[in-house]
Structure 1
Amino acid sequence: MHDAHTATRHSEPEAIFRGRSSQVYDHVTRWLLRGLYRRIAEDIADAAPDGATVLDVGTGPGHLVAAIARRRGDLTLIGVDLSPDMVTRAERNFRPYGARVRAREGDAADLPFTDSSIGMVVSSYSLHHWDNPGAVVAELGRVLAPGGRLYLYDWRRAPFTQVVDAAREHGVLGGRPHRRTLIHTGSPVQPHVVRHVMTNPE
């Protein structure tokens, strides 16, 4: 199993992300993917600027956001997902962290945020679901503040090259050389993941 969350409205949320299936998915991923969430949360906790607003695109039931919240009490954290049932699950999981952590229903290609309002974006196992990576990349570049970073995590075969090409085409996320690394997660279910980091121009 992998943590595949819905991100764009080009198709309806898959059945696994709706209704009672979303509850089962929440419980299963909470335990099976703890190592993966922990590893990514450590990255974000180490890299996020003081007091930043961090957006998780394709948040699903919000376990990654919760893991980040436990490590960094100064951050404002927002999880966005296409599935209203997943957003409901995330809202429940975020209750222990108060008003600084919240969930929103939204489309990765049409985010409900103003220009340059987000300090950092993270997305885990959502990229390979993006029907139009170019539209999503343009939108992430729009909401990211100057110098803001995008952390993408996905399979080796995910369309990272399409993301790079789209960023070049739209003139976003080209502030620093891109960094793509295969990292060890400590999770027996998903022991390795590709991390791709891009930065908005200053």
Structure 2
Amino acid sequence: MKGPVDFHAIDTSTEMLAQAKSVMQHAGLDPHLQQADVLSLPYKDQSFDVVMAAHVLEHLPDPQRALAEMVRVLKPGGTVFLCVTRPSLFGALIQLLWRTWAITEQEGIAWLHASQLVDVGYQPVRLGSAGLASTAFWARRSR
């Protein structure tokens, strides 16, 4: 059996880090949080078993560069999870409000394959009355 789980998280916003710390501590977790940019992660190569980003890539001018950083810190055999806004009516509203862009399933799959990841999968995510507003992707770094 493996030891305890360490949670590490980054954000460029100190306010978001404070909120994350509060929520995670309320859930009984002791997170390691730091202010940083996903385009230059402050971790050594192959540091993590799991790397996840929820609604981050669609905000970036170069999402594939961020994905490359996420893969860099992923251990061989590790899994990356992504959740992104998909093309939809709700997605269009999000794009207008936050100047993001929607990512199709085909684009997400292509990015994961281009990052040399294997066992790529995806599933649309229903967000209440907004319908299928997001897509969850996952893939594994080969050993």
What TM-score do the two structures reach when normalised by structure 2?
A: 0.72
Q: Is the 8 A contact 2:112 2:120 kept in 1?
A: no
RMSD: 2.5
Query: Matches of residues 145-156 of structure 1 in structure 2 within 5 Å?
Result: 145-156=75-86
List, as ranges, runs of 4+ consecutive aligned residues in structure 1 with deviation greater than 4 Å.
none
Select the structure that is richer in helix: 1
**Helix, strand or coil: the match of 1:178?**
strand
For structure 1, the residue ranges without an aligned partner over 5 or more in a row are 1-48, 52-73
Q: Is the 8 A contact 1:133 1:166 kept in 2?
A: no
Q: CA distance change for structure 1 residues 129 and 163 in 2, over 3 Å: closer, same or farther?
A: farther
| Cα distance, 1:189 vs structure 2 | 5.2
Residue type matched to 1:164 in 2? A
Partner of 1:195: 136
Select the structure that is richer in strand: 2
Note if 1:88 corresponds to 2:88: no
Residue type matched to 1:200 in 2? R
| Cα distance, 1:188 vs structure 2 | 2.4
| Cα distance, 1:152 vs structure 2 | 0.9
Q: Is the 8 A contact 2:84 2:103 kept in 1?
A: no
Partner of 1:164: 110
Note if 1:177 corresponds to 2:119: yes
Count of aligned pairs: 125
| Cα distance, 1:162 vs structure 2 | 6.0
| Cα distance, 1:183 vs structure 2 | 3.5
For structure 2, the residue ranges without an aligned partner over 5 or more in a row are 88-101
